[in-house]
Structure 1
Amino acid sequence: MSSKATITAVVLAAVVIIAAIAVVWTSGHGYDGGNTDQTEDTVTDALGRTVAIPDNLDNGIVTIGSTGPLRFASMFDVFDHIIEVDRGDITDSKNGRGYSYAFAYDSLDPSTQSHPDNALDSSTVESLVKKGPSLVITTESVWKNYSVNFGILAGQCTVVVLKDQQMQYMTDGDGGLADYFEFNVDLLGQVLKKEDRASEIISGIEEILSDLRSISGTSDQNVYIAGVTISGSNTLNTTFPVYIPFDLTGTSNAYHGSTENKVVLRVEAFTTMDIDMMIVDPSSSDKVGEADSQYLMEYVYRLNSDSDPSNDIPIYITVPIVWDSVNYDCALASSYYVAHLVHGCLTDQEVEDRIVHIFEVFYGEEHGSGVFDDMREFFDGKSSANGQEMPLLQEVVIEYDASAGEYRFAAA
């Protein structure tokens, strides 16, 4: 037999073995059929798969992937049906995830109701086959990374695949919601049999986008953005070439160059930039004490302390928008604050009212109305634990603590 034929035979044998394992698992590991009764209704998911809609959610919902599944599912008030999520959604919740303030995912038991983040390993497949959930929600990228295991799981329960969410945009060329966002909401609306809610979500967000367009415009102010948590928290000399709130409000980014998600600048390069205003995301407060942040703060402190007010760089703390990719509700919230600062529109109270409304659109009035207050409290505590005062939606100043030899943020 030729080597090519031998390889082919081995591959075919492996496929047969995997299929046999799946059969043995389901017959010998306590799988009770779970979600075998399906309606005749189907949907087409992000991979083009035809997926039967489950009759009910009595056996619960599992989300696999930190960047999308639970974020989108939370818009449909399915917390009571969630039986398992990525471990980080329990043990590392809050931060910039609006949905983790709306629903108590941190009350789930990580030992029995979680799996490794962004993964579907063999042990998780075995565990989920035993549980027999009514619905599993994942994304294109996670499926592709674990396609064999997902193939086994999809043979035993309903698995629906969402489009990957995007870091750099949430709107299309006309300013409306991007296709991937509408697709995911519409798909879950059908699968969860909540199509009216899906329409409500989309129309509500479209109205918010329209409102932002009506109060925004163009500005000659150059704004520097720092502190966003992309690939971890970042020092203040790290900036973000594409920042959704700038895109939605027509704000000029002080940085011009790369279009990567983030760029680490030499502090000397920062001093040569034309900057009229600095906006800081408080989620990187743990990096304020590091050397590069301190050098940048020293430069701004000296500018703002000299006798020439024309070169001052005011600093404002915005709503954090990234934790496990972009949280679109928080991006919209930050957009209102940016519009307020740059275009001089809205009072402070009007900004807050609109932010509360955003969370109510995303999670319903019952669960969304308290999100912003809880988020503000969380970040007050987080910043304080890192020796900083960085209250959301407020101006801060840089102070020098001579006894510690450090620059710090303090409420203005």
Structure 2
Amino acid sequence: MSESKKILVPLLIALIIVSAFVSGCVDESSTSQSIQPQEEAVTEAETVTETTTEDVTEKETITVTDSLGRVVEVPKNPESVICSGAGGTRYLTYLQAQDKIVALDSTEDKVSVGKAYAIANSYFEGYPTFGQSGSENLEVIVSLDPQPEVIFTMYTTNGYDPDELQDKTGIPVIALKEGDMVQNREDMYQILRIMGEVMGKEDRAEEVISFMDATIADLNERTEDVSDAQKITCYAGGVGSAGSYDLMSTDSYYPPLYFINAKNVAYDPAAPKVAKVSKESILIWAPEVIFIELRPSQFEGENYAPYQLENDVSLNQLSAVQNEKVYGMLPYKFYSHNPDTALVDSYYTGTILYPDEFEDIVLEDKAAEIYGFLVCEGDVEKGMSVYETMLTISSTPVFTSLEFD
């Protein structure tokens, strides 16, 4: 072998070894780079998991004192609630929080016409029911989907105690004391404020209270200076109480007469709010004007005020009947009391008893304003529709003089 060939062979071998070494380094580098994004992806996934875990926290709660003085911890601004007993659904509608209701007291389903809040929220008709106040179906309540975060109950001495209802369902229970429009108006306002606090509707609660106060003040201011000598006597019959709607069922503090300082022959400062009077008392009082709360057809019959005025010989001789001074009204007492309708009725009684003081009032416009503000989220046009539907409650005409043969 020549000398030059002896030198060339080792050089070729060396080049091959170097090339193999460099190639191996490149492959290792490439493999390392391809793994690196996977390692980063794992790190990011772990970060998302940690973030998600941090985001899942218990819902903020507040403590609320209910009408019975019970201090209850409830979720702040709950997304789902139920109302047991007469009035709860009505007041939540006033607060514009009815969209949080997920089921209804079964009594709400019986008659919608006559309750402005039910007319304004016709979708209530498709809601599940959970029994009546005092006989709630606990199995249904705990199986509702979505599950109620709060139960509002209109407190009565019958049925479940609020603490018992809360313990059995595991759901916070807020007990509410109903009150009324006249003697216990502050209790009614307390309901709005308590519900408003729970639902995050405190400002709306004060707006509703101010609206009611201003409306009642307007009614009073129109009539407070009218002397007793200028007033004509009147009486309100058929005022609903425990399923009784006859002429003798009345209210000493009947709001549509009380708010306008009317000369109510049944007024007695010491009398219960709603009571039965005797037929003889009505005959002796001989009111010049009679107002009657009207009802749907299923309530009509021999114990219904219009029937009695037409068919009872002695009642038929009352001057109010003979002079066609009997007027049909929307029911203030209908599944408990209806403050919105009480105000509408008050303007109507005002136009009958004090035509000069109420000459500027167009009843349908005033009703649209009241229903619009309280149950239609300020929509006066919708308030007019609610009013027109309310007028269909009875086969007996509403807000007009009734004729009896």
User: Which bin holds the TM-score, normalised by the shorter protein?
Assistant: 0.7 to 0.9
Where does residue 284 of structure 2 map in the other structure? 272
Q: Distance in 2 between matches of 1:47 and 1:104?
A: 32
Question: What residue ranges of structure 2 are gaps of 5+ in the alignment?
Answer: 1-55
Cα distance, 1:117–1:291 mapped onto 2, change above 3 Å: closer
Where does residue 401 of structure 2 map in the other structure? 395
Residue type at the aligned position of 1:394? T
Where does residue 61 of structure 1 map in the other structure? 81
Q: Answer whether contact 2:120 2:386 (CA < 8 A) is retained.
A: no
- Answer yes or no: is 1:198 the counterpart of 2:205: yes
- Answer yes or no: is 1:108 the counterpart of 2:121: no
Q: Tell me the SS of whatever aligns to 2:179.
A: coil
Q: Answer whether contact 2:208 2:374 (CA < 8 A) is retained.
A: yes
Match of 2:171 among 140, 157, 167: 157
Where does residue 382 of structure 2 map in the other structure? 370
TM-score, normalised to structure 1, is: 0.71
Cα distance, 1:343–1:108 mapped onto 2, change above 3 Å: same
> What are the Cα deviations for residues 328-374 of structure 1, in whole angstroms up to 9, with x where unaligned?
11111111111222222224853332222222231244566434544
Q: Distance in 2 between matches of 1:255 and 1:305?
A: 15
TM-score, normalised to structure 2, is: 0.73
Q: Tell me the SS of whatever aligns to 1:204.
A: helix
Cα distance, 1:37–1:241 mapped onto 2, change above 3 Å: same
- Answer yes or no: is 1:224 the counterpart of 2:243: no
Structure 1 residues 40-189: aligned runs within 5 Å: 40-58=61-79, 60-65=80-85, 67-95=86-114, 97-109=115-127, 112-124=128-140, 126-127=142-143, 131-141=146-156, 145-147=160-162, 149-153=164-168, 156-162=170-176, 164-167=177-180, 169-170=181-182, 178-189=185-196
* Greater Rg by CA: 2
Cα distance, 1:36–1:187 mapped onto 2, change above 3 Å: farther
- Answer yes or no: is 1:244 the counterpart of 2:263: no
Please report how far the alpha carbon of residue 71 of structure 1 lies from its aligned counterpart in structure 2 after TM superposition: 1.6
Please report how far the alpha carbon of residue 192 of structure 1 lies from its aligned counterpart in structure 2 after TM superposition: 0.8
The farther-off stretch of 48-57 and 257-266 is 257-266
Q: CA RMSD in A?
A: 3.3
Q: Distance in 1 between matches of 2:299 and 2:315?
A: 17
Q: Distance in 2 between matches of 1:197 and 1:153?
A: 32
Q: Tell me the SS of whatever aligns to 1:161.
A: strand
Q: Distance in 2 between matches of 1:36 and 1:121?
A: 31
Identical columns (%): 21
Cα distance, 1:281–1:122 mapped onto 2, change above 3 Å: same
Question: What residue ranges of structure 1 are gaps of 5+ in the alignment?
Answer: 1-34, 173-177, 401-412
Cα distance, 1:340–1:199 mapped onto 2, change above 3 Å: same
Please report how far the alpha carbon of residue 73 of structure 1 lies from its aligned counterpart in structure 2 after TM superposition: 1.0
The farther-off stretch of 293-302 and 203-212 is 293-302
> What are the Cα deviations for residues 383-403 of structure 1, in whole angstroms up to 9, with x where unaligned?
32xxxx32x2222221x2xxx
Where does residue 336 of structure 1 map in the other structure? 347
Residue type at the aligned position of 1:70? T
